Chains A and B, each alone.
Chain A
Amino acid sequence: MAVIKPGVSGQVSTPNGPSFRGRNRRDGWLLVLPAIALIVLLGVYPLLYSLYLALHQWDLQTPTTPFIGLDNFRTALRDDRLYSALRNTWLIVVVGVFLEFILGLILALLLVDLPRLKRFVIPIFILPVMMVPIVVGLTWRMLWDNQYGAVNHMLRMVFGQDLNIIWLGKTNTALIAMIVTQVWQWTPFMFVVLLAAISAVSPDLYEAASLDGASWWNTLKDITLPSIRHIVAVAILFRALDAFKIFDIVYMFTQGGPGTTTETASWYIYRLGFQFFRMGYASAISFLVLIMLSIVATIYVAAFIREGGKA
């Protein structure tokens, strides 16, 4: 198992023979052309169109769509429902990804030196990742059900009382349910990535540590974690950006309710666009979310990945 940094290894793979250079550039762009054409037509153009929408009062029901400048953005900054949706989304992202990382790390450490068991266990552990998200939503919607669900039933067996938690009917418990469900689906992802990373740490380091009589904890703290730091940073970034999109589970669990208290960013934009038909306002909020995510991701990459890439 080899682990590489996700940087661009162009220098390694570019042929240096002088006969190539001139033709190469033209060939290169020719090969990229179909992909770029598709991305520009179906990715960049809609994004620009969305900016145009954001500057207009574009409601599907009204015939005119006047230009209103930055009014949509101004409204958004004072929109309590947006802040509530963002708070929920970040809560799910931060708590969920943190738990996925810790649990994934524990499982990876438990399994890394059991090669035979590893081969048998990995295919089972990764099944949740392969589930269709909407099916995950349906499955757990049944498991969390207060009357017929398995979660309450198991709690009853453990605590011996006739408890009846209406998990998806209250804000806090519904958010907990969403986080647990996310953790169920994505801990295996963290687990396999961390397992690959730990397996690739140079054995020499461990040999030296054991010769020095380092304890298990010190080996973990001073060798394993620093060695896999870069991959951990990448895995967390991938998972966090993915978790931020959470939509399917909200759709199946609560549809944002009770009231609007369990809305997430994706859900709120969807509601604005397709239940209130406020296309302009939804676009403005989309842009604010994009800007926020770009800033957070840039800071994260600068802090944890760029500098870590040399490790």
Chain B
Amino acid sequence: MSTDAAEVELARAQSIARETATINRGVRRSRPFLDLLRYLILLVAGLFFLFPIVWIAVMSVKMPGDYLRRPPVWIPDDPTLNHYRSVMEARGWQALENSLVIASSATIISLLAGTLAAYSLARLNTGGKHFAFWLLSQRMMPPVILVVPFFLLLRDVGKHVSFLGIDQRGSLIAIYTVFNLPFIIWLMRSYFDGVPIELEESAMVDGSTRIGVFLKIALPLSLPGLIATGTFAFIFSWTEFLFAVILTRTNAVTLPVAVAGFSGSQGSNWGQASALAVMATAPIFVLSLLVQKHFVRGLTLGAVRG
């Protein structure tokens, strides 16, 4: 009991010390002019980050006469949903379906293989440091390097296997699975590192198998991390463009490729292009709310825990 009380006391003292010390980390407070300047800079930064997003959202509901106007029309008088209707019917629904199928399949497969491997690295130190960094190097390599061999290999494989090959969803699923793996292994390893090992050791002593310990203890305890990792993997697969544009023609076109189809249009199709872009972005924004807390950790592969 007394040690508990002492610990609480210590924690309280630390938090007070932290609060007082925090004051000097950034710009010193207490000078009204500097404070005003500080809020002003933050406001400008916020507007800068938000403006393009608002711009494309507004563009997607403008009448054609409004987006080809100088000066630009900031807020349209008669917003329309026609662009959404026409672009979704033309190519949107198919692209949306492709993106959903491809991104979720790649996420599930890579999560299955990746989580097992991550657990092995975290708990059994399989392969040691060199193996972990070899995995990391796979992630860091520019993907364009694999574009040519992938194209030629898939073209040949496609002659024998119907779901692989050019313009098949299976090809992109396979590629995204492999792109996601190093990321998932590194990130999940950092989450498994956070699970106390004593629990697992005592379960093993009680006769649980390795896989039983993994399924019953490690996995449930790192579930938030697993969800965050899966969400990131989904986002990466959803947003990828280079391989998607090379390996698809009509059937397997994903949303980014469909959006890029408007790259040549000089203004006349901006409404439709923007509508499709909003459709491609909205799901990612919703998902990003899920991973907010894991954001820093995810984007640095577990190196920095925000």
Contact = CB atoms under 8 A, between A and B. Distances in A.
A112 B149 contact: no
A266 B144 contact: yes
Given A8-B132, A127-B285, A192 B295 contact: yes
B285 A206 contact: no
B160 interface: no
A20 B25 contact: no
B142 A111 contact: no
A24 B124 contact: yes
Contact of B193 (A12, A123, A145, A241): A12
Given A153-B72, A283-B148, A130 B288 contact: yes
B84 interface: no
A238 interface: yes
Contacts of A195: 306
Interface in B284-299: 284-285, 288-289, 292, 295-296, 299
Nearest to B154: A46
Nearest to A112: B26
Nearest to A224: B25
Secondary structure call for the B interface: helix
A216 B262 contact: no
Contacts of A167: none
Interface stretch (A74-82, A94-102, A132-140, A171-179): A132-140
Contacts of A114: 26
A235 B70 CA distance: 41
B285 to A, nearest CB: 6
A274 B142 contact: no
A24 B210 CA distance: 9
> Could you say which interface size class chain A belongs to?
35 or more
B146 A47 contact: yes
Interface string A17-37: 100100111011111101110
B113 A38 contact: yes
Contacts of B302: 6
Contact of B153 (A46, A153, A204): A46
Contact of B296 (A5, A11, A192, A203): A192
A50 B149 contact: yes
Contact of A34 (B113, B242, B280): B113
Interface in B84-124: 110, 112-114, 116-117, 119-124
A192 B20 CA distance: 22
Interface of B: 17-18, 20-29, 38, 41-42, 45-46, 48-53, 55-56, 59, 67-72, 110, 112-114, 116-117, 119-129, 132-133, 135, 138, 140-153, 174-175, 177-178, 181-182, 185, 192-193, 197, 200-201, 204, 210, 235, 238-239, 241-242, 245-246, 255-256, 259-260, 262-263, 267, 270, 273-274, 277, 280-281, 284-285, 288-289, 292, 295-296, 299-306
